[in-house]
Homo-oligomer: A and B are copies of this chain.
């Protein structure tokens, strides 16, 4: 039996099942039709595992190209077109089967198809298992930035099976660890200390614990603040800078988790300059990232351009700049409009 973590938002309560796919078939059987959205790579490797545990006779598969550069409205239209062609109705289900790009887009498509049908997420990358599949943020990128178009839409259930990680490329595995470190730095000092003393590549038991702990921390935050009016913004640590790094790399140079890793280091610079994080703690965070070969340094070639892009971030309000920075390890703070010189200094380090 999988470990179960419950998320309760204003509208809905659902389970994140960690360990295997137990329960997926029973839940799926209540739907008229099922559209599985996946990418060609995951489909080739793992679709049989999903199909073999589903009894439904009305299953359709839609594959979309993998990668952040395809996370756009055209792909959403493609998913919707598939749903229309197979005549999905309001009692039908979409299953997201893949990484964060797949789960964000499938959730978005489900939220706007006939004004919203149910979806279930089966994340196959470490990043999406600890982050993207949990919390109900859906969306796509556009030329103005990342995830700027989307909805808040919770899945009916999430199934996390660590067996899918066996085929995950090393680099993507590391990018997922970056999000685990992010959550630990912001919310749980003990978890961070523990992470310093284990190696998630070597021990599947430790990995499973790290996933459970990350998901539990995130579930608690999302339950308290689904729409990111307060504490949930803490999860964006590293993302304000990271999103721009990703955009400037055209969503293909760096993985999301890598960009977030570099973004965290920029946020740490700011925290150190503001006296909220000790230099030695900033180094501890960098070292933990480096242990998994996550890049920690990024040279901003045009500081002014980078600065102006910060204002387009979803967290900026009334033309105010907002950053999530660590307040020591295990706590975080949202700061508004830091002195421009300090910000430039933090960006240029």
Contacts and interface: CB of A to CB of B under 8 A. Distances in A.
Contacts of A139: 112, 115
Main secondary structure of the interface of A (DSSP, over half): loop
In the complex, which of the residues A80, A114, A151 has the most CB atoms of chain B within 10 Å of its own CB atom?
A114
A84 interface: yes
A318 B150 contact: no
B314 A148 contact: no
A149 B112 contact: yes
Number of copies: 2
In which size bucket is the chain A interface?
35 or more
A207 interface: no
Given A150-B112, A314-B115, A317-B32, A77 B73 contact: yes
Contacts of A148: 84, 113-114
Given A84-B142, A84-B144, A112-B150, 12 more contacts: A32-B317, A80-B142, A80-B149, A89-B314, A89-B316, A89-B319, A112-B149, A114-B149, A114-B150, A115-B147, A115-B150, A151-B151
8 contacts: A84-B142, A87-B319, A112-B139, A113-B149, A114-B149, A114-B314, A115-B152, A115-B227
